[in-house]
Amino acid sequence: MRLGVIGDDFTGSTDIAGFLVANGLRTVQLNGVPEDALQVDADAVVISLKTRSCPPQQAIDESLAALRWLQARDCEQFFFKYCSTFDSTPKGNIGPVTDALLDALGEDFTVICPVLPVNGRTIYNGYLFVNGVPLNESGMRHHPVTPMTDANIMRVMEAQSRGKAGNVPSTVMDQGSRAVRAALAELKASGLRYAVLDALNDAHLAVMGEAVADMMLVTGGSGLADGMARAWIDLRGDAAKAAEGGKPVKGRAVVLSGSCSQMTNAQVAAYRAEAPSIAVDVSRCMEDEGYTAELAEWVKAQAQGGPAPMVYATMPPDELKKVQDRYGAAESSEAVERNFGRLAQLLEQAGFEQFVVAGGETSGIVTQSLGIKGFAIGPQIAPGVPWVRAVGKNLSLALKSGNFGQERFFFDAQEIAG
């Protein structure tokens, strides 16, 4: 197998898997470390974990277990996928997991590359930008769990890891992969452990993809994977054929939105204007046992062949703050997640087959509640958001990272499903 990917969350994993498939690689995504006996026939396997904000030791243990499973399948190269906004804290988990993977592989050097230019995540002189704004000035500075207050990725990485970081600037990227290889060798020889790679555009992705072809472990966002896959001329196949196994099943659809990101707020507003929708009542999620069943009945009644009904907890930051002040941030978000998990189960029992879900945590809980062990990856709805089809179940899902997709994403998903 060419590539084994360890992803630190659900939607981030479908993001990278979608790019591999879009390059014609046969790709399978497995949710959690699978049983030893499982055999997979694919060019790439993505193991999705939920290790972005758990205690660092747990993230290390689970990532190493994933690595061992992938090693046993003779993967030629390993990719640690984290968020293109480098979601982490001075405790981790990107640094500690990268160090543990390097140690386990007997390596002492890797690249750090949280980029995805098509979605506005670029690096210049080691500084990460989100749609042209430095990371620390973007919405990420207010993230409840991993607030990002420094755009300098060398500094952020050094604060949570064991080694020192250098930069391969965009001027070197412009010179091509030989120059990048030489710059990497120089950084390594000078005792650095991590190289933060600049990327401003798709051409830079192709250059870095070629330059890291022989590196045992690489780390970053799906832009790097896109560049790597472009360099694998021998493996690249027909993208439509690679996406065949993940083609959405036909059936009744529902939209479940549990993300409060800026983009999801815009997507929910656009969808509400034209489709049946209902807002989640957080207090009833917390106190009323029968509430989820009531929501399920509403969804069933609204599924009349037009746009799919939407249940949304999405709210703008000021309203969310009021809810969190009143009920507690952890308590309210757990209650909302429980509600979406149970709702998905009730709707599956009622025969719903397409689930369009917004938010990484929300996608995680929905997938787990539906008992899904893995996905075949299908066609992309938007960069980084493919339709995926559950292994062993007649269910299709579109799992959207909070800030991904255009305003009409929920419509786009249904259009592509046909």
Write out the residues near ligand ATP by the rule CB under 6 A.
11, 258-261, 264, 282, 313, 315, 320, 323, 332-333, 336-337, 359-362, 401-403
Binders in 222-251 for ligand LCNOYBR7, by CB under 6 A: 222
Residue 345 neighbours by CB under 8 Å, 6+ apart: 369, 370
What's the rounded Cα separation, in Å, for the pair 29 and 37? 16
Cβ pair 31, 103 in contact under 8 A: no
Q: How far is the CB of 11 from ligand LCNOYBR7 (least distance, A)?
A: 5
Q: Answer whether 85's CB lies under 8 Å from 226's CB.
A: no
The item of ligand ATP, ligand LCNOYBR7, none sharing an interface with residue 384, based on CB under 5 to 8 Å by kind, is: ligand LCNOYBR7
Helices (H), ranges, 72-110: 94-105
Residue 220 φ/ψ, nearest 5 degrees: 155, -155
Number of residues in contact with ligand LCNOYBR7 under rule CB under 6 A: 13
Choose, by CB under 6 A, the member of 2, 15, 97, 225 that binds ligand LCNOYBR7: 15
Q: Which two tokens stand for residue 65?
A: 């277990």
The beta strand positions in 347-404, using DSSP E, are 352-358, 374-382, 385-390, 396-400
Q: Write out the two tokens for 344.
A: 């998905």
258: partner contacted, choices ligand LCNOYBR7, ligand ATP, none (Cβ within 5-8 A by kind): ligand ATP
| Token pair belonging to 203 | 């051409």
State the binding partner of 336 from ligand LCNOYBR7, ligand ATP, none, CB within 5 to 8 A by kind.
Answer: ligand ATP
355 close to 344: Cβ distance less than 8 angstroms: yes
Does residue 384 contact residue 18 with C-beta atoms inside 8 Å? yes
Residue 85 Cβ, how far from ligand ATP at the closest point, in Å? Answer: 8
Least distance in Å: CB of 222 to ligand LCNOYBR7? 6
The CB-of-289 to ligand LCNOYBR7 minimum distance in angstroms stands at 32
> What is the spatial distance between Cα 255 and Cα 86, in angstroms, rounded to a whole number?
28
Which span (81-89, 126-134, 279-287, 317-325) binds ligand LCNOYBR7, by CB under 6 A? 81-89
Q: Of 96, 258, 307, 360, which one interacts with ligand LCNOYBR7 (CB under 6 A)? A: 360
Least Å from the CB of residue 87 to ligand ATP: 8
Q: Where do runs of H (alpha helix) occur along 212-312?
A: 222-231, 239-242, 262-272, 282-287, 291-302
Q: Of ligand ATP, ligand LCNOYBR7, none, which one sits near residue 217, judging by CB under 5 to 8 A according to partner kind?
A: none
Piece of the chain touching ligand LCNOYBR7 by CB under 6 A; list 83-91, 144-152, 202-210, 405-413: 83-91
E strands in 98-178: 110-113, 121-124, 127-130, 133-134, 165-168
375: phi then psi, degrees, rounded to nearest 5 = -135, 150
**Contacted by 221, from ligand ATP, ligand LCNOYBR7, none: CB < 5 to 8 Å by type:** ligand LCNOYBR7
Interacting partner of 220 out of ligand LCNOYBR7, ligand ATP, none (Cβ under 5 to 8 A depending on kind): none
Q: What is the smallest separation between the CB atom of 266 and ligand ATP, expressed in angstroms?
A: 12
**Which residue number has the CB closest to ligand LCNOYBR7?**
12
| CB nearer ligand LCNOYBR7, residue 221 or residue 246 | 221
**Of residues 39, 144, 37, the one with CA closest to residue 28:** 39
Q: Which does 29 bind (CB under 5 to 8 A by kind): ligand ATP, ligand LCNOYBR7, none?
A: none
The answer to whether residue 83 forms part of the interface with ligand LCNOYBR7 (CB under 6 A) is yes
Peptide bond into 93 cis (omega under 30): yes
Q: Does 359 bind ligand LCNOYBR7 (CB under 6 A)?
A: no
Q: Parallel, antiparallel, or unpaired for β 110-113 and 194-197? A: parallel
Contact flag: residue 12 with ligand LCNOYBR7 (CB under 6 A): yes
Given candidates 3, 4, 6, 9, which one binds ligand LCNOYBR7 under the rule CB under 6 A?
9
- The values of phi and psi at residue 114, to 5°, are -80, 75
Sole binder of ligand LCNOYBR7 in the list 84, 98, 122, 332 (CB under 6 A): 84
C-alpha distances (whole Å) from 214 to each of 5, 128, 231 are 16, 25, 12
Residues in touch with ligand LCNOYBR7 (CB under 6 A): 9, 11-12, 15, 83-85, 116, 221-222, 360, 384, 401
